[in-house]
Amino acid sequence: METYNYKEFKERGINVNFVQDNQSKSKKGVLRGLHYQKKHPQGKLFRVIKGEVFDVAVDLRKESKTYGKWVGVILSENNKKQLYIPKGFAHGFLVLSESAEFVYKCDEFYHPEDEGGLIWNDVIIGIGWPKVDEIILSEKDKVNPKFEDL
């Protein structure tokens, strides 16, 4: 399976130079995010190689006509879908299967001191997260600010 081809992505308007690949594994109910980089924004290409997640992007570009809007898609090892999230978006995901392994490419190096967050259940954004028995959040993600406070 070919998972990335620069020429094909460029033909579809995604002309980026990826500089870093990452992989994470989480169990059912883990919700990570919503995360973004402030001064060093990253474009990212996400896919799931094991399990199933609900993957979300929120537009934080103030000049955009979709500012404050979100999009979500199921990514799984079975559907083999990928989601490209451009610079200027917050990202989060919820694990729907017993566990999931997630891989993603970044077009900018990660700067830990530059990370920002947005609370996952912000009422203004109104993300329609799928129902799971329990949402598991990191301590950091429990205290992310509201959209109106960014």
Domain ranges in the chain are 15-149
Catalytically annotated residue among 35, 84, 91, 110 = 35
Q: Could you read off the pLDDT tens digit of each residue along the chain, which spans 150 residues?
A: 899 999 999 999 999 999 999 999 999 999 999 999 999 999 999 999 999 999 999 999 999 999 999 999 999 999 999 999 999 999 999 999 999 999 999 999 999 999 999 999 999 999 999 999 999 999 999 999 999 998
Which listed residue (4, 36, 104, 111) is catalytic?
Answer: 104
| Annotated catalytic residue 84 | no
Active site residue 40: no
Write down the pLDDT at residue 16. Answer: 93
The β-bridge relationship of strands 70-76 and 52-59 is antiparallel
**CATH number assigned to the domain with residue range 15-149, chosen from the 4 options 3.90.76.10, 2.60.40.1930, 2.60.120.10, 3.90.1150.10:** 2.60.120.10
Rounded CA separation 74/35 (Å): 18
Q: d(Cα 122, Cα 115) in Å, to the nearest integer?
A: 18
- Assign residue 88 a region (left: φ > 0; alpha: ψ between -120 and 50; beta: otherwise): left
Dist CA 12 CA 70 (whole Å): 21
Task: Fill in the DSSP letter of residue 10.
Answer: H
pLDDT at 150: 87
